[in-house]
Amino acid sequence: MNSSDCKLGVTNIKRKRPVEDADESSGFRPRVVYVIDMKLLFETTKIPHIKNRNFVVDHLIESYKLKQFMEICEATPATEDDLRWFHASNYIEHLKIERNIDDDDDDNYTDENDSEFGLGYDCPLLKDTFGFVCSIAGGTLTAADKLINRTADIAINWAGGWHHAQRDGAEGFCYINDIVLGIQHLLKVFNYVLYIDLDVHHGNGVENAFAFTRKVLTLSFHEFEPGFYPCSGSVNDIGLGKGKYFTVNVPLREGISDSLYCAVFNRVACAVESIYKPDAVIVQCGSDGLAHDPIGEFNLTHEGYGQCVRTILKWKKPTLFLGGGGYNIANTARCWTYLTSIILDEEISSDIPDDFNYFRLFGPDYELRVTPSNRKDMNTSEYIDNIVTTIMCNVKNITENSMS
């Protein structure tokens, strides 16, 4: 694949009929649900390092007038029983402990057991932590409900995608694993679920949850370098027990750009989808793989992410799109707004709307595009060929017989 394969430039806005007005004569038009409400937005501001990111994302989507093409759905907070589908009871009970939290105090850890549950450092205590995790989990469960009830073909929850949380504790800015809960919810109706993780960090919490099962295949594209968090996701990590070969990791080196990333994604993801034949798909679209992210070390643009999403949409499976990482606020908003336009098949202007509430964040060019940096790509042809060859050999073991 050459670089032109990933060129998905934005052009002048072109309006189409809203989703509800589409009919069979216009071809397949997926019903798209966007899960969002003020409570969910306010709760996400509690997460360290992302501040008002989801407000910026939502306002940019609205400024491009994309909401008219989606059903807007408020999130129903998860219940304690919902959380216990995956998370340990003692962890849930610890989250329920009421604390006096001072926003100006960095030393809010008053319980000696906090560190046992991963609370501290990158996951500090929050005001009403239990209410927070119920909101975050509820957004993804609400989106999954829409797919289960067949009232939507595609569901979007950019406030979700917290893939590091473990069964018994918080980790990596993630207090609750809404993805695992969403997948478990989908399994009530769908026999096989494919989980795709585009975050620059390995989706370790989700992988660990489903390492022993064939009902869920986890596919993670991530940076894998010595010392790079979470230091997991080797190409040789392929699942355990009956779940052997149903974990697929694509460990990449720093600096990868759109053309190579898209080529690897299309080859691996399409092979997995073709062999596994999932009934539903969940995609974590963490945008910390974008160029200029303060934490990630990839060199991707919105167009690279867009090519991956276009590939997934061609499968025409019930699909849930989630957010995740992304610590350059403006670029994350650019990327997720662009992905929303692709999901809706709506072309949008490259110019940021001048009535956008956070317009000044997008200077000096005030454009939707994310430009690559000069970071060197450390992924050699030999390295990529070796990991892809290994993955393809493993994927061949996923057969119809092995899934029974």
Q: What distance in Å separates the CA atoms of residue 269 and residue 273, rounded to the nearest whole number?
A: 6
Which residues have C-beta within 8 Å of that of residue 242, sequence separation ≥ 6?
Answer: 212, 213, 214
Residue 196's DSSP bridge partners are 219, 283
Active-site pick, 59, 164, 201, 302: 164
Q: Which residue has the tokens 């046992």?
A: 116
Give the Å distances, CA to CA, from 318 to 14, 51, 206, 283, 313: 26, 31, 19, 11, 9
Active site residue 87: no
Question: Nearest to residue 226, comparing CAs of 203, 200, 254?
Answer: 254
Quote the radius of gyration of the chain (alpha carbons, Å).
20
Report the catalytic residues: 164
